[in-house]
Amino acid sequence: MIGTQQADDTLRMAFVVLAVISIAAAGAIVANKLSFGFAVAATAAIIIFTASFVSQEIALYILLFSMLLGPQFVAESEAVAFYRGRGISLRFDDFLIAIIGTAWLMKVAINKDFGIFRRTPLNVPIALYLFACVLATVNGYLTNPRVNPLVATFYILKYFEYYLVYFMAVNHLREREQIRRFTVTLLVVCFLICLYGIYQIPSGERVSAPFEGKEGEPNTLGGYLVMMLSLVIGLLVTQGSFRNKLPLLALVPFILAPLAATHSRGSWLALPFMLLTLIAFSRRRLAIIIPLVFVIAVSPFLLPKSVVDRAAYTFTQPAEEGQLKVGNVKIDTSTSARLESWRLILTQDFVKRPLLGYGITGYSFVDAQIPTVLVNTGLIGLIAFLILLGAIFRQALRVYRETTDPLFSGIALGHLGAFVGLLVHAVGANTFIIVRIMEPFWFLTALVVMIPGIEKTAEDSKRDEAKAGDRRGAR
């Protein structure tokens, strides 16, 4: 057995050395053939790959910072504009996930102790939803000329990317300290994003995350901030989650300022639902209710006029073509367009393809999550999607109710509030396929899902130590 183990170790080491030499050689060739920029990119890719192969944790830290701070590249063509109404966006973390994922798969290939997909309660729901997306898109390709197989494949791969983040995280998480470190990292990234948002406020433009292009995506930043605010409040109101909660308390106004400046009404709408969820499940409701009442009382004196005007704009926009009316009240054109898309899909287009929909990219862009899922993947896809959402909520709620660790309790509570807030945000946005919201959300979900296993391992370890101590005492 010892000889076999040594042979396996030698084989693995030889494989690693061979891989590094091959990558270095490829990098040298690329550097000679391509421009300086490409050479730098290739070198960076080699460094990240090597770091990821050596330490999955280092790779995950790099990934966490790139989720919101990585640049975006846009490739647009007439075909893409026709099929989706928007261009294909490639971001730095897309390439990063590809590099880290390749290193991870190579590590799995040479170490039989690692598994590709660790068993979790979400594996089957994720697989069902991805299968529904593929099935609907293949059916759409065969029956709907609007489906572009190349663009559709790209979008399905983007969906898979979010879940790959989840699986890379759950495969690595083993200890409580890892969850604490990753949570702190999520909060640090949030703080940096808030600083960038506050920096934009004097410009008078709607704030957005870094590297979002010329127009930016304020609604995306708003959804992300609602999610992170829920995590911060969950940790704040849970006694014992952190020894020093002053940094958490200081982070709240840093989040609220850019959240207001996004002028994202969908995010503002999500905010009260997120807070109500935290109040409903928190064991210290007054710790949320009392500050909330104070904030509501002083908000008329603190809110900028631009924020008040933006909220009122929903019902005070001057008369324009395309506005819907509810009684004598006019609704602004942006909100009207979203409501009209819901009506059109539910009453007309959905009934033409009820089971599998039109396929990914088979229907024009719709800025709302449920109608998008329904029209793209039909009832089969919608049912699979709702099963996945239900599994996420049940798992977070079970962890929150059963965990005895204050840190874990605070994270699970924050996740519950974030989840409900994002559901409301998704009424007017494709929240659950937006990269800059879903990548951190699925990473946070991985932390919550792994809590029971980590707690059980810690309890088993304590029990074994106690038994060993009893045996030593008996001697």
Residue with tokens 């061979």: 18
Comparing 6 with 350, the larger pLDDT belongs to 350
The two beta strands, 329-331 and 324-326, are antiparallel
Find which of 6-15, 22-31, 138-147 is predicted with most confidence, using mean pLDDT: 138-147
Question: CA of 296: how far to CAs of 236, 266, 272, 394, in Å?
Answer: 19, 19, 11, 31
CA pseudo-torsion sign 171, 181, 192, 218: positive
Say yes or no to pLDDT of 281 above 90: yes
Backbone conformation region of residue 72, classed left if phi is above 0, alpha if psi is from -120 to 50, else beta: beta
The two beta strands, 72-75 and 88-91, are antiparallel
Say yes or no to pLDDT of 77 above 60: no
Question: CA of 323: how far to CAs of 317, 320, 337, 347, 417, in Å?
Answer: 9, 6, 8, 19, 33
Which pLDDT value is given to residue 44?
A: 62
Q: How many CA atoms lie within 13 A of 2 on its CB side?
A: 0
For residues 212 and 258, what is the distance between their CA atoms, to the nearest angstrom? 15
- Res. 1 pLDDT band, cuts 50 70 90: very low
- Res. 2 pLDDT band, cuts 50 70 90: very low
- Res. 305 pLDDT band, cuts 50 70 90: confident
Say yes or no to pLDDT of 123 above 80: yes
Q: What does the CA dihedral 277, 280, 284, 289 come to, rounded to 10 degrees?
A: 70
Q: Compute the residue count for the chain.
A: 475
For residues 411 and 450, what is the distance between their CA atoms, to the nearest angstrom? 12
pTM: 0.86
> E-assigned strands of 307-408?
324-326, 329-331
For residues 343 and 374, what is the distance between their CA atoms, to the nearest angstrom? 12
- CB 75, CB 90: distance < 8 Å: yes
- Res. 79 pLDDT band, cuts 50 70 90: very low
For residues 308 and 169, what is the distance between their CA atoms, to the nearest angstrom? 41
Share of the chain above pLDDT 90, in %: 46
Question: CA of 111: how far to CAs of 5, 8, 46, 48, 228, in Å?
Answer: 12, 9, 21, 20, 36
Which pLDDT value is given to residue 85?
A: 40
- CB 432, CB 468: distance < 8 Å: no
Which pLDDT value is given to residue 131?
A: 95
CA pseudo-torsion sign 275, 280, 284, 289: positive
- Res. 332 pLDDT band, cuts 50 70 90: confident
Say yes or no to pLDDT of 76 above 50: no
Which pLDDT value is given to residue 82?
A: 38
Give tens-digit pLDDT for 370-393: 999 999 999 999 999 999 999 999
Which pLDDT value is given to residue 306?
A: 83
Which pLDDT value is given to residue 14?
A: 52
- Res. 125 pLDDT band, cuts 50 70 90: very high
Q: Among 307-316, 433-442, 443-452, which is the least confidently predicted range?
A: 307-316
Give the residue-averaged pLDDT of 14-33.
Answer: 52
Which pLDDT value is given to residue 78?
A: 40
Q: Name the 3-class secondary structure at 337.
A: helix
Which pLDDT value is given to residue 398?
A: 97
428 burial type by CB count under 10 A (0-12 exposed, 13-18 middle, 19+ buried): buried
Which pLDDT value is given to residue 80?
A: 41
Cβ atoms within 10 Å, residue 408: 26
230 CA to centre of own chain: 14
- Res. 151 pLDDT band, cuts 50 70 90: confident
Q: What is the DSSP letter of 144?
A: -
- CB 88, CB 150: distance < 8 Å: no
Give tens-digit pLDDT for 181-230: 999 999 999 999 999 999 999 988 889 888 776 667 899 999 999 999 99
Say yes or no to pLDDT of 349 above 80: yes
Which pLDDT value is given to residue 89?
A: 61
Closest CA to 376 of 159, 154, 137: 137
Residues 6+ apart with CB under 8 A from 108: 114, 115, 116
Say yes or no to pLDDT of 278 above 90: yes
Find which of 87-101, 154-168, 409-423 is predicted with most confidence, using mean pLDDT: 409-423
Give tens-digit pLDDT for 220-267: 999 999 999 999 999 999 999 999 999 999 999 999 999 999 999 999
- CB 451, CB 401: distance < 8 Å: no
405 CA to centre of own chain: 24
Beta partners for 329? 326
Say yes or no to pLDDT of 57 above 70: yes
- CB 363, CB 415: distance < 8 Å: no
For residues 101 and 172, what is the distance between their CA atoms, to the nearest angstrom? 13
Closest CA to 166 of 127, 132, 220: 127
Which pLDDT value is given to residue 466?
A: 65
- Tokens matching residue 310: 């933006």
Give tens-digit pLDDT for 81-104: 433 444 456 666 677 777 777 776
pLDDT averaged over every residue in the chain: 82
Comparing 63 with 216, the larger pLDDT belongs to 63
Q: Which helix (H) or strand (E) holds 467?
A: helix 435-474
